[in-house]
Chain A
Amino acid sequence: MAARCVDVRERDVEAFEAALAPVIDKAHRLATAMLHDPAAAEDAVQEASIKAWRKLDHLHEGAELGPWFLGIVANECRTTLRSRWRRSVGPLGSDDAVAPGRTGDVERSRDMLDALAALRHKDRLVIALHYWLDMPVEEVAAVVGASPAATKARLYRAVERLRARLGEGRP
């Protein structure tokens, strides 16, 4: 793995592809969770790939590409949502965002998507990483660049805010 990291940092395209392959699906799922728009999610991952490729020098020797790349994807999603030109009516709150299903399921999913969309970026990010990508707190910490303890606290607060958005308190 260390040799591969060296290859990646030396801008070897094949090594970059090999390093990206295990994380690309996670990256796309993360972007979908952040944007609620599959097409925009693909764009965000593609943009993140370009930025990662250009910033390979920033990747510390021996460091794993995965968490670093997911961090870039998260930043790209924030940029996408902030972009003034991107006034999308599709993602984050669109009626078309939820696949058809039973009415109750759809309403419940809609409530959850609305609640997630209303969260701040950093709250939505830790929730997406932990609850949607099923990453343990230590790995979430590596993506957000914080200590595991701080990440755990952030996750706790994010869940509280999500519960509040859903109109649910702690039992």
Chain B
Amino acid sequence: MIRDDELLRARIHEALDGVQRPAPGLLRRCVAAAEHSSRAPRLRTVAIAAALAAVAAAVVVLTLLQHSLSHGTPGPVQSPTPAPQQVLYTVDAGNDVVALDAQSMRVLWRRSAGGAAPAAVTATGLLKLSADERTLWVLPISDPRGGTALRAFDARTGTPGVTIALSGGAVYSTFAVDPRSGDIAAVGQDGTRILVSLVDPRRAQVLSTTATRQLPPRAPLGSDLALDAVFTADGSRLYYSYGFANADRSGVDWADVSGAQLQPCRAQAAGAACAPGVGVGLALAGTTVVASDTGNPAQLVTLGPDGAVRRRVATGLVGDAEGGVVVSRDGTTATVLGACPNGGGVVRVDLAGGTAQPVATPVSGAAAAPETPCGVRATLLADGGIAVSRLDTGFAGANSPGTVAVVDATGRILRQATLPAGVVDLAATP
């Protein structure tokens, strides 16, 4: 029974204290957002004028087209095809989500997805676009090992959308979006098992959670995490990588997806991955898995749908470290990044021929120089270049500035943006 005001106050404090979380940097974000918004009225005026001009132009073009069609002759006017703006999205260890114009690196919008990460975190796949590119999904970090909820943002405006709490008792560190159904698979662990939660974002519901691998008992997890995940184009299979500290657990697993059911792959050794030792960088080229390994010398490995290794290509990058992998849209080449503490560098691999071509030479025996591209997370840009999150220590911290660099096909850093916290992941519109 609540007998007086002070008791009621104590109970309310007790209940809400359990919900309240610190929000470091909130004042800075609020002021920055307010200041940024002050440009909006002018932009709105320009936008309205531009829209009216566009409507007028469209009327003229349609009239001319109708005229030409009615006379059976080619029209004198061709519709212009302006280059669409490519947007680069980042999430940092402060759990800030930022949209940048990939050309100018200008901030388009910035939103908070949660409080800052409690410690330096490993860069994993925490940011993905929906197949229609309208929704940006983020897995905010609430624990050094990951997060417990998925958050949606309108990719164009940054307007926050649905928050989906993932199954209790586990921490999730990466996810993938099914390009066909839009369902999401979040991959995490609960201390003894790797878990995959299938989520229906339209109903904001967890459809199922499946334990896909039992980890070795009574052994510390170390720094092992689910690192990245990707669906096949038809959504029938989910690949995900796990590692990177303990070689006996690292590797790629997969699960066949049927509705809300998952059929995990079977490993040859208990507690091991189905494709052991690979997968810090993970991508698909059609049905072929393309993954970097953590061995020395560093290799790029391709796997068939049966999990068998098809090819190993020595990259020339310094091994024993994680590195990112990006596959070209036509699936013919893979770009492999060296980790910043291990000298960085970029190598392009012809997937059909199995040859590696150095694009940016790694620094020998030292950390990557400022002009040397490096990093773990990378994304493909429209012009064939890549955007990379540069993490000089290999980890992203909330209190250390982060850098996003745009690297062209020759390995040259074209432009960079500095963000208040280390960038954990990034994605770009095609």
Contact = CB atoms under 8 A, between A and B. Distances in A.
Contacts of A11: 38
Given A28-B26, A85-B161, A112-B15, A43 B148 contact: no
Given A42-B114, A98-B18, A113-B19, A49 B30 contact: yes
Contact of A101 (B5, B18, B115, B168): B18
Nearest to B36: A50
A50 B26 CA distance: 13
B124 to A, nearest CB: 19
B18 A20 contact: no
A45 B19 CA distance: 16
A90 B147 CA distance: 13
Contact of B19 (A49, A98, A105, A134): A98
Interface in B319-354: none
Contacts of A127: 12
Contacts of B13: 131-132
A41 B151 CA distance: 13
Nearest to A110: B15
Nearest to A50: B37
A87 interface: yes
Given A54-B37, A88-B204, A89-B165, A132 B18 contact: no
A11 B114 CA distance: 28
A38 B23 contact: yes
Contact of B30 (A33, A39, A46): A46
Interface string B1-42: 111010011011111111111010011011101110110000
A39 B12 contact: no
A108 B31 contact: no
Given A112-B11, A131-B8, A32 B163 contact: no
A90 B149 CA distance: 8
B135 to A, nearest CB: 10
B19 A108 contact: no
B140 interface: yes
Interface in B155-205: 159-165, 168, 204-205
A66 to B, nearest CB: 14
Contact of A171 (B3, B19, B21, B165): B3
A35 to B, nearest CB: 9
B8 A105 contact: no
Name the prevailing secondary structure of the A interface residues.
helix
Contact of A13 (B26, B31, B160, B205): B31
A97 B163 contact: no
A24 interface: yes
B143 to A, nearest CB: 12
A24 B27 contact: yes
Contact of B112 (A13, A42, A90, A99): A42
B111 interface: yes
Nearest to A32: B20
A52 B34 contact: yes
Contacts of B95: 39
Nearest to A114: B15
Contact of B26 (A24, A33, A54): A24
Interface string A71-93: 00000000000000111111100
B420 to A, nearest CB: 15
Given A49-B34, A89-B164, A163-B2, A42 B26 contact: yes
A110 B114 CA distance: 22
A128 B13 CA distance: 10
Contacts of B115: 38-39, 42
B112 A166 contact: no
B250 to A, nearest CB: 30
Nearest to B3: A171
A164 to B, nearest CB: 11
Contacts of B148: 96
A17 to B, nearest CB: 5
Interface string A113-146: 1001000000000011001101000000000000
B112 A39 contact: yes
A51 to B, nearest CB: 9
28 contacts: A24-B27, A32-B20, A32-B21, A33-B19, A38-B23, A43-B160, A45-B30, A46-B33, A46-B111, A49-B30, A50-B37, A53-B34, A87-B204, A88-B162, A89-B162, A90-B165, A95-B165, A96-B168, A97-B19, A99-B19, A101-B18, A105-B14, A106-B18, A112-B15, A127-B12, A131-B9, A159-B8, A171-B3
Interface of A: 11, 13, 16-17, 20-21, 24, 28-29, 32-33, 36-43, 45-46, 49-50, 52-54, 85-91, 94-99, 101, 105-106, 108-110, 112-113, 116, 127-128, 131-132, 134, 159, 162-163, 166, 168, 171
Given A39-B140, A131-B9, 12 more contacts: A37-B163, A38-B19, A43-B112, A46-B30, A46-B33, A49-B33, A95-B168, A96-B165, A98-B15, A109-B15, A112-B12, A132-B13
- Sorted nearest first, the 8 A-B pairs with minimum C-beta distance are A53-B34, A49-B30, A112-B15, A38-B21, A109-B15, A99-B18, A39-B114, A90-B163
